[in-house]
Each structure stands twice: as structure tokens, then as C-alpha cells.
């Protein structure tokens, strides 16, 4: 389920355009960009909405969507 509302339980939200620019400096982050900032203690972890929620970002290769990366927290 992709959530539109902030912090909806059991949902995953895409990063917004503003978040993409803030974290990656681009609207089309590559796998290398994602690896550079990945980690729960880094900027991506700061964008997680809380327990039972997740975030995701489309990863681009040569300007074409190539994969989706997910992160978040279970309720455990």
C-alpha cells in the first residue's frame, strides 16, 4: 500500500520531490547515490515516519527507472 498521508500505519510512501533534492541533490538518484546516503542513522532513516511504516525511492540507471529501494520499521 502506498500512503498519501504522513505516518499511515502499514504503508510505504515515496520520497517527495523536495526530499529527493534535499537528500540526493537530484530527482533521479542512482544506486550509487542511494548507497552513499543509506543507513538508519543517516538522512534516509530521518525520513522514516515511525513504527509500522516505510519509505521508498525509485533508483535510476542512465535516466531510466531501474529499481525501487525500500526502508522502514516494523512494529516489533
For 31-66, what is each residue's pLDDT tens digit? 999 998 886 567 777 777 677 788 899 999 999 999
CB 19 within 8 A of CB 27: no
Taking the CB of residue 57, how many other CB atoms lie within 10 A of it? Answer: 22
Note whether residue 68 is domain-resident: yes
d(CA 26, CA 5): 23
CB burial of 11-22 (b: ≥16 within 10 Å; e: otherwise) equals bbbebeeebbee
Domain count, the chain: 1
Q: Taking the model in full, what pTM does it have?
A: 0.78
Note whether residue 3 is domain-resident: no
Note whether residue 6 is domain-resident: no
Amino acid at each position: 500500500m502506498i500512503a498519501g498521508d504522513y505516518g499511515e500505519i502499514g504503508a510505504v510512501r515515496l520520497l517527495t520531490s523536495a526530499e529527493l533534492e534535499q537528500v540526493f541533490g537530484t530527482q533521479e538518484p542512482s544506486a550509487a547515490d542511494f548507497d552513499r546516503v543509506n543507513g538508519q542513522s543517516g538522512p534516509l532513516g530521518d525520513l522514516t515516519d515511525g513504527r509500522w511504516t516505510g519509505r521508498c525511492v525509485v533508483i535510476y540507471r542512465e535516466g531510466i527507472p531501474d529499481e525501487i529501494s525500500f526502508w522502514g520499521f516494523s512494529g516489533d
